[in-house]
Structure 1
Amino acid sequence: MAHRALAATVASLMPQARTELAELVRYQSVADPEQFPRSECEAAASWVADALRAEGCTDVAVLDTPDGTQSVYGSLPGPAGAPTVLLYAHYDVQPPLDEQAWLSPPFELTERDGRWYGRGTADCKGGLIMHLIALRALRANGGVPVSVKVIVEGSEEQGTGGLERYAEAHPELLAADTAVIGDSGNFRAGLPTVTAILRGLVVLRIQVDTLEGNLHSGQFGGAAPDALAALIRTLDSLRAEDGSTAVDGLAADASWDGLQYPEDDFRQDAKVLDGVRLTGSGTIADRIWARPSVTVLGIDCPPVVGATPSVQASARALVSLRVPPGLEAGEASKLLTAHLEAHTPWGAHVAVEPVGQGQPFRADTGSPAYTAMAEAMREAYDGAEMAIAGQGGSIPLCNTLAALYPEAEILLTGLSEPQAQIHAVNESVSPEELERMSLTEALFLQKYANSW
């Protein structure tokens, strides 16, 4: 009966959820002032603060974090003696990339083919809406049975560590018995999943200089060292012949023994073009969850349109390295830096600058909170058993929480199943997944409170 009542309430809240998600998606809250005005993130933070106040949260505050961004905090006291659960999401989003490739405006929620499209719908503005629905459903069915803390980050996508450093300076703020990180997702829509590991992240900027200024390629080309060519050679050294990551001193042969990812499914999810081979070796799960992977995020060089016949004096790139559990991100950063410096050809001047990093994370899936989550998922998903998967991305706050509160249990759930295409054009969320995961979270909070 309780399950059916909660489910009916969650279903009735979906129109409000769509309206609120549409409002939140309108904010172009990319935490990069070089691309988007800071006012967009500030406005989104204000929206989140108002939403928490409307839910009865106390101590609502917009926190100025050390990286120059804002996170939003609020708390909801529960019954005496009840456990405390921290609910996490982030309101900052990735840039829209090629806006012309979107089938609908990236910052305008658009319903199409049963999905809601827009930047941040799944990652992770939808995660915040999921938390709000769960709390509303519980309040309408006897009350929230736990004490709740909510933290909504403003710079997760940039990896600049503002919230982590703020939490370390205010260790009492996010203290909880369990944290539900709503920034992951099901392995596949309809298959309830918790994420057991996250790869960490290292981001570096490399600049190569060879000349005092650009030169005429006809007059000097052939002998004058081309900085762009030197950079390309340096970047190419980061991959072996089969495309696997090859950073000097960095092991890349670990294996994943949990849920597997069939290659045909991966090719379809990743939208790999016909005839193009996948990179690396081992199983797909090995490659994307258990091993490091390097990506060139961007290169500064002359665009094709307007290019002149010149030998380039300087070139730079942004490089990321995903770091599996078992390797500390700072050590990985040192190895990547040393590799880039060692493989820059022709004596070119090279400068490598750290931009951001986050530690890898491994959860304890045998803890009581995971038992409660498995039961909640089974009810919300009509008897389907909870799957345990990895995730190639990183959520830097997880390791900070684990270090600050070693007794706390940390669960990773969310809305970013493969069809969501997070970080890509045409990001979307399944309203059915939003409804079921909101119900899952409400059921989990009940079951966790009862187990306390």
Structure 2
Amino acid sequence: MDLGSKVDSLMDGLRADLERLTAIPSIAFPGYPAEHVLQAHDLVVELLRGAGVEHIERLDLPDTAPVIYAEVPPPTPDAPTVLLYGHYDVQPPGDESLWLSPPFEPTAVEGGLRARGVADDKSNVIVHLGVLRAYGGRPPTGLKIVIEGQEEYGSAFDAYPPTDPERFACDAMVIADMGNLRPGTPTLTTGLRGAAEVVVEVRTLQEPRHSGEFGGAAPDALLTLIAALATLHDEHGDVAVAGLRREEWRGTTFTEEEFRELATVGEGLPLLGTGSLGERLCSGPAITVIGLDAPSVEHAASAVVPWARAKLNLRFHPRQDPREARDALVAHLEQLRPYGVALTVTPGDTGPGFEAETGGPAHRAALAALREGFGAEPGHVGSGGSIPLVNGLAQAAPGAEVLLFGAQDSMCGLHAPNERVLFSELRGAVVAEAAFLREFARTHGTATGADAAHAPGATHATDAAHAPDGAS
């Protein structure tokens, strides 16, 4: 079967279904209507049934939007099983005045579609649907399809798969919540940084005191906090906390010009840190002050500030232990005494990073499939973002190879105003995933399950990152 021609014939229907799905404001955050989330759930179930999927279940977990679980049996007893993942919930739109069109009115843009959630992750739900349609509901592998409804906010499902491993057992999984580094550049994401949060607090006075009468001697809590935060980075902007892992990155990454545009860096401003962008964004740590409690400029009084607090977000190397990384930051802050004042440091939540094994039959099949889908040589990238469920799925199916690719691209504006997806990326991702199932079914017998990780040429994702771009 000519997959490219088949997918081309399906694109009009896939576009229409993507518009239907993105018109639903399925925000699974507290305070938003739950009925919209359920509406999106029901539409995805309807689309799966229409694509020939007969076995569909609804998984209900505490305080969690329903998870869609579906199965397509393997065509033969020796055919492999592939798990396909996506999510139907979306981020809130944020400041709607920054959108060029209403966020839940799918709007045509050059070569694509603009709407909240159109790239993250409803386009990838449509990718799975397109693959099913391309094969008439009978792909060359067995399928387990997992579409969750509360990925963006976090839920009980993150930790659920290891408690029900038989349900999630498979030979390989495609986590379609990622995409290409840039449009038209086929990309496998092989590493995800871990994340942790820490709150640091300073209290110096019982209440504010006149800055004219007391300033200059009374300890200022905000100045103390600023002095502490300034120690987290050196004069170049590199993280200066001991014990946080950093390694050289030699895989694919952005050019500086691409990064400046994507990050909306002001003209003439330097980027923080030294070394390659890959190290700063993928294989090294980052500390960001994501919140600050202090008097606002608008409501400022002429008084010494008695109390101030900051929330820090830490991103760390995919293979570093989350508690080890968080505790390194906590220890750094606790040993500080800016102006002789002790800090109150509260450790927060952690989330592990992830590194995929490379070099097994599923990885090789994915590289061939991405070439077919996009007509170019694929590369490996790391991501500073995190997908908590990946580790849970990997624990439930420890012998399965994990592949992260999809219809998003790094320039799609996910979580930002005016999020968009390109139809060329959607089409390429459908072809690539369909081709992956075909190639994996054909080559699966060469090395399966846990053996794949030890097959000749198999490597850790970090090893792939140190190989020439696109090498395995």
The reply to whether TM is greater than 0.5 is yes
| CA distance in 1 between partners of 2:197 and 2:108 (Å) | 35
The question of whether the paired residues in 2 share the 8 Å contact of 1:231 and 1:316 is answered with yes
What's the offset of the Cα at 1:267?
Answer: 2.5
| CA distance in 1 between partners of 2:258 and 2:426 (Å) | 23
Q: How does 1:123-272 map to 2 (within 5 A)?
A: 123-139=120-136, 143-158=138-153, 160=154, 162-214=156-208, 217=211, 221-252=215-246, 254-272=247-265
Q: Which amino acid in 1 is paired with 2:60? A: D
The question of whether the paired residues in 2 share the 8 Å contact of 1:84 and 1:147 is answered with yes
| CA distance in 2 between partners of 1:374 and 1:276 (Å) | 38
Match of 2:177, SS state, is strand
| CA distance in 1 between partners of 2:89 and 2:227 (Å) | 34
1:61 aligns with 2:57: yes
Aligned to 2:420: 428
What's the offset of the Cα at 1:277?
Answer: 0.6
What's the offset of the Cα at 1:450?
Answer: 2.0
Aligned to 2:341: 347
Q: How does 1:349-388 map to 2 (within 5 A)?
A: 350-355=344-349, 357-382=350-375, 384-388=376-380
| CA distance in 2 between partners of 1:53 and 1:309 (Å) | 65
1:32 aligns with 2:29: yes
What's the offset of the Cα at 1:332?
Answer: 1.2
- Residues 370 and 101 of structure 1: is their aligned pair in 2 closer, same or farther, counting only changes over 3 Å? same
Identity, % of aligned positions: 42
Cα deviations by residue, 1:356-385 (Å, 9 ceiling, x for unpaired): x32222222211112212222222223x22
Match of 2:269, SS state, is coil
| CA distance in 2 between partners of 1:209 and 1:66 (Å) | 38
- Residues 234 and 292 of structure 1: is their aligned pair in 2 closer, same or farther, counting only changes over 3 Å? same
Aligned to 1:296: 289
The question of whether the paired residues in 2 share the 8 Å contact of 1:65 and 1:165 is answered with no
Q: Which amino acid in 2 is paired with 1:442? A: A
* TM-score of the aligned structures, taking structure 2 as reference length: 0.84
Q: Deviating runs (4+, > 6 A) in structure 1?
A: none
| CA distance in 1 between partners of 2:303 and 2:94 (Å) | 28
- Residues 211 and 167 of structure 1: is their aligned pair in 2 closer, same or farther, counting only changes over 3 Å? farther
Q: How does 1:272-421 map to 2 (within 5 A)?
A: 272-309=265-302, 311-343=304-336, 345=338, 347=341, 350-355=344-349, 357-382=350-375, 384-421=376-413
| CA distance in 1 between partners of 2:59 and 2:225 (Å) | 40
| CA distance in 2 between partners of 1:148 and 1:314 (Å) | 55
The question of whether the paired residues in 2 share the 8 Å contact of 1:161 and 1:396 is answered with no
| CA distance in 1 between partners of 2:306 and 2:50 (Å) | 56
Q: Which amino acid in 2 is paired with 1:438? A: V
Cα deviations by residue, 1:12-62 (Å, 9 ceiling, x for unpaired): 3323323332333334444431x6344544443343344334434345333
* TM-score of the aligned structures, taking structure 1 as reference length: 0.88
Match of 2:69, SS state, is strand
Comparing 264-273 with 288-297, greater Cα deviation is found at 264-273
| CA distance in 2 between partners of 1:376 and 1:105 (Å) | 36
What's the offset of the Cα at 1:222?
Answer: 4.6
Q: Which amino acid in 1 is paired with 2:397? A: Y
- Residues 39 and 192 of structure 1: is their aligned pair in 2 closer, same or farther, counting only changes over 3 Å? same
Q: Which amino acid in 1 is paired with 2:48? A: L
The question of whether the paired residues in 2 share the 8 Å contact of 1:231 and 1:344 is answered with no
**Structure 1 unpaired stretches of 5+:** none
Aligned to 2:94: 97
The question of whether the paired residues in 2 share the 8 Å contact of 1:258 and 1:388 is answered with yes
RMSD of Structure 2 on Structure 1 (CA): 2.7
- Between the two proteins, the alignment pairs up a number of residues equal to 442
The question of whether the paired residues in 2 share the 8 Å contact of 1:49 and 1:62 is answered with no
- Residues 249 and 377 of structure 1: is their aligned pair in 2 closer, same or farther, counting only changes over 3 Å? closer
The question of whether the paired residues in 1 share the 8 Å contact of 2:220 and 2:305 is answered with yes
Aligned to 1:84: 81
- Residues 221 and 100 of structure 1: is their aligned pair in 2 closer, same or farther, counting only changes over 3 Å? farther
| CA distance in 2 between partners of 1:41 and 1:205 (Å) | 32
| CA distance in 2 between partners of 1:215 and 1:27 (Å) | 52
The question of whether the paired residues in 1 share the 8 Å contact of 2:315 and 2:384 is answered with yes
What's the offset of the Cα at 1:325?
Answer: 2.4
The question of whether the paired residues in 2 share the 8 Å contact of 1:86 and 1:180 is answered with yes
The question of whether the paired residues in 2 share the 8 Å contact of 1:66 and 1:165 is answered with no
Q: Which amino acid in 1 is paired with 2:185? A: L
Comparing 13-22 with 318-327, greater Cα deviation is found at 13-22
| CA distance in 2 between partners of 1:91 and 1:342 (Å) | 44
| CA distance in 2 between partners of 1:63 and 1:233 (Å) | 49
- Residues 214 and 195 of structure 1: is their aligned pair in 2 closer, same or farther, counting only changes over 3 Å? same
The question of whether the paired residues in 2 share the 8 Å contact of 1:49 and 1:73 is answered with no
The question of whether the paired residues in 2 share the 8 Å contact of 1:45 and 1:62 is answered with no
**Structure 2 unpaired stretches of 5+:** 445-472
